[in-house]
Structure 1
Amino acid sequence: MNFFEKKLLASGFKHISVNCVIEYNSKLLLIERANNPHRGKFCPIGGKLNAYEAPSEGLIREVNEETGINLKSFKLFGIMVESSPNEHNWVNFIYYSSFKSLPELETMNTIEGRLNWVSWYDLENIPLPETDIHIYRNIRRGQPFIFDVSFDANNKIKKMGNVLMEQIEV
């Protein structure tokens, strides 16, 4: 990260990312992250958008880079906006893709971490980012979402709500 990126992040500027919950045979393809953010935690496949890149284009690129899968079918399931007093500020486009046959993976070990097939039932027993269990629950229920998440200075959730389901009053 260069000087200007550090300054931009310190100003509260939001990163834009895409993530894909990939399902096959009641299991999700997750990456056990080797790097921060979320080092050692299981996360959906994805990453930051490049300049001038549409979210769907970034999703296809990120999934291919991290897994070797050429994603052909997917849907936008939700958006999560994360705000904090430090550099953890993101707008995340969360997609879902289901496969009828086992997708061929180039490798299970990537520069980003190790790929794992995790059953829906095991999600409660593995380390996840604090927000992610809510994403998986909504996808499992077929309930779209726009999560508005506020964190404290230690990156612990202060407030999280689904603005599609709640009335906002100012």
Structure 2
Amino acid sequence: MLTYTIGFIKRADEILLLNRESPSWMGSWNGVGGKIEKGETPLESITREVFEETGISLHSMQYKGKVTWVSTSGDYNGMYAFIGELPDAYELETPIKTVEGILDWKKLDWIFHSENTGVANLHYYLPIMLREEDIYEHHFVYKNKQVDYFERREIDRKVSVF
């Protein structure tokens, strides 16, 4: 079982992102989420994390796969990834300063702009998660400030996230 969850909350053509105040991805815009607590399923974890970090109580999160990595030191880890959708008219005024960082709605074209260097590595996998129905594993290998990225459809769809 992986250690973390990450969630992306979509409203129309925007995603609610968090500019993190601590590692990893400190100073970068990323999804919300965190560590899976003992006895939690990934779905329970992301539901709790979304509420704790945003105040939003989502009743439905769609499992979109895994984001895994091997660090420069050779450690393997990862996160279960989810997408939640809110109605276009959902009101949440941002930016909001939180314990975790700053929450703000960001337009999809801003997130994926080729010159945007302020976002975590979302441009690799978030477009696929938003576009595809299939579930993927998105894998990163970090070596001396170099990143290799691989994706594959998950064959085993029996991952228990519920």
Measured against the shorter chain, the TM-score band is 0.7 to 0.9
Q: Which runs of 5+ in 1 are unaligned?
A: 1-13, 166-170
Q: Give the letter for the 1:83 counterpart.
A: V
Aligned to 1:51: 38
Which entry has the higher C-alpha Rg, 1 or 2?
A: 1
**Structure 1 residue matching 2:51: 3-state secondary structure:** helix
- Please give the per-residue CA displacement for 1:10-47, whole angstroms capped at 9, x wherever unaligned: xxxx9611111111121000001111111110000111
- Please give the per-residue CA displacement for 1:62-108, whole angstroms capped at 9, x wherever unaligned: 00110011111111012111112338642211100111131547981
Tell me if the contact between 1:69 and 1:104 (Cα under 8 Å) persists in the aligned partners.
no
Q: Where in structure 2 are the equivalents of 1:16-95 lying within 5 Å?
A: 16-86=3-73, 89-95=76-82
CA distance in 2 between partners of 1:60 and 1:107 (Å)? 21
CA distance in 2 between partners of 1:89 and 1:127 (Å)? 25
CA distance in 2 between partners of 1:34 and 1:115 (Å)? 11
How many residues were matched structurally? 149
Return the TM-score normalized by structure 2: 0.82
How much has 1:110 moved relative to structure 2?
0.8
CA distance in 2 between partners of 1:110 and 1:87 (Å)? 32
Tell me if the contact between 2:94 and 2:104 (Cα under 8 Å) persists in the aligned partners.
no
Q: Which runs of 5+ in 2 are unaligned?
A: 155-162
Distance 1:103 1:62, change over 3 A: farther
| Identity fraction in percent | 20
Higher helix share: 1
**Is structure 2 residue 142 aligned with structure 1 residue 163?**
no
Tell me if the contact between 2:95 and 2:105 (Cα under 8 Å) persists in the aligned partners.
no
Tell me if the contact between 2:6 and 2:80 (Cα under 8 Å) persists in the aligned partners.
yes
Distance 1:87 1:45, change over 3 A: farther
Tell me if the contact between 1:15 and 1:48 (Cα under 8 Å) persists in the aligned partners.
no
CA distance in 1 between partners of 2:62 and 2:109 (Å)? 23
CA distance in 2 between partners of 1:72 and 1:136 (Å)? 21
Structure 1 runs (4+) greater than 3 angstroms displaced: 103-107
Aligned to 2:159: none
Q: Give the letter for the 1:148 counterpart.
A: H
